[in-house]
Amino acid sequence: MSRPLNYTTKIAAKRSAGECLDLLGDAGAHAVSVTYTDREPTGLAFRLDTAGGRRDFALPVNIDGVRQMLAKANDQGRLRSDGHRNNTYETRQHAANVAWRVVKDWLEAQLAIIAAEMVTLDQVMLPYLEVDHGQTLYQKYLELDGQVAIGAGAP
């Protein structure tokens, strides 16, 4: 198994969040901001022009999920070449740094396929479209057991 992306980063979450704001602004977002939970940056909010007009989007950053992934990789000996545990990779702060760096890299990759005219920005961000009082399209899809926009689907 491979090692997790960016697991050795020393770049602070707030710096990566700022880079994400710049990337979205440069890509044409009308407004961009960092969302916080308990004084910790945990997501991005931004406004884009779409075929249906100006819309709001919310991109979460799941720090707890990254922390769990790092702990599992550490348990499996994948974070060090000698196979020993390194508990510094399991702190919440380190998980936040890794999570934000991964989001920044993902955003850069998405913007590259947009620049290549393979997709549009709103097309890439569709799962994060806010559709109902801060709820994203993907969250609504889950709530309705996969029935949003696709109906019952194929058997």
Query: Which helix (H) or strand (E) is 50 found in, with range?
Result: strand 40-50
With pLDDT > 90 as the criterion, what percentage of the chain qualifies?
Answer: 68
Read off the pLDDT of each residue in 81-89 and give the average, rounded to a whole number. Answer: 76
Read off the pLDDT of each residue in 83-99 and give the average, rounded to a whole number. Answer: 88
Q: Is the pLDDT of residue 33 over 90?
A: yes
pLDDT at 150: 53
Could you give the CA distance from residue 33 to residue 28 in angstroms, rounded to a whole number? Answer: 14
pLDDT at 141: 87
Checking phi first, is residue 2 left (phi over 0); if not, alpha (psi -120 to 50) or beta? beta
CA angle 72, 61, 55 (to 5 degrees): 150
| Cα 123 → chain centroid | 15
Could you give the CA distance from residue 119 to residue 148 in angstroms, rounded to a whole number? Answer: 22
- pLDDT tens-place string over residues 97-135: 999 999 999 999 999 999 999 999 889 999 999 998 889
Read off the pLDDT of each residue in 37-47 and give the average, rounded to a whole number. Answer: 93
Q: Is the pLDDT of residue 154 over 50?
A: no
**Among residues 1, 20, 3, which one has the least CA distance to residue 89?**
3
- pLDDT tens-place string over residues 17-32: 999 999 999 999 999 9
Asked which of 50-59, 105-114, 122-131, 144-153 is least confident by mean pLDDT, the reply is 144-153
Could you give the CA distance from residue 99 to residue 79 in angstroms, rounded to a whole number? Answer: 16
Could you give the CA distance from residue 141 to residue 97 in angstroms, rounded to a whole number? Answer: 29
Higher pLDDT, 128 or 152: 128
How many other C-beta atoms lie within 10 A of the C-beta of residue 82?
6
